[in-house]
């Protein structure tokens, strides 16, 4: 059974071996700006595990970002249409 996915606040997570995995690194993910990659290392079996953990307020941020992107796209389309008409 895979270990349960930790939340962003978890410093420790249960390992599949029954031991405890402690957090080693937290890195940003280039193509997932609303997630952080948490790497855990098990002191009992030596296994490493990584989890993509959502940042605080990530859902709200993503919604705003998408809305802005759509607005920009629409504006660009309108500008392009104007140019074509001329």
Q: Interface with Zn ion includes 17 (CB under 5 A)?
A: yes
Query: Which DSSP letter does residue 5 get?
Result: P
User: Among residues 19 and 37, whose Cβ is nearest to Zn ion?
Assistant: 19
Which segment (1-9, 15-23, 27-35, 52-60) binds Zn ion by CB under 5 A?
15-23
| Among 43, 35, 83, 85, residue whose Cα is nearest residue 62 | 35
Looking up tokens 């392009």 gives 80
User: Which positions from 23 to 62 touch Zn ion by CB under 5 A, shown as an x/- string?
Assistant: -------------------x-xx-x---------------
Contact 17, 47 (CB under 8 A): yes
CA distance 77 to 3: 47
User: Among residues 41 and 55, whose Cβ is nearest to Zn ion?
Assistant: 41
Residue ranges in contact with Zn ion by CB under 5 A: 15, 17, 19, 42, 44-45, 47
């Amino acid at each position: 059974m895979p270990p349960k996915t930790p939340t962003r606040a978890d410093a420790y997570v249960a390992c599949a071996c029954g031991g405890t995995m402690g957090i080693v690194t937290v890195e940003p993910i280039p193509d997932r700006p609303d997630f952080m990659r948490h790497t855990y290392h098990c002191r009992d079996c030596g296994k490493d595990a990584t989890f993509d953990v959502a940042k605080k307020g990530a859902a709200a941020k993503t919604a705003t970002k998408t809305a802005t992107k759509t607005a920009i796209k629409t504006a660009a389309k309108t500008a392009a249409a104007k140019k074509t008409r001329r």
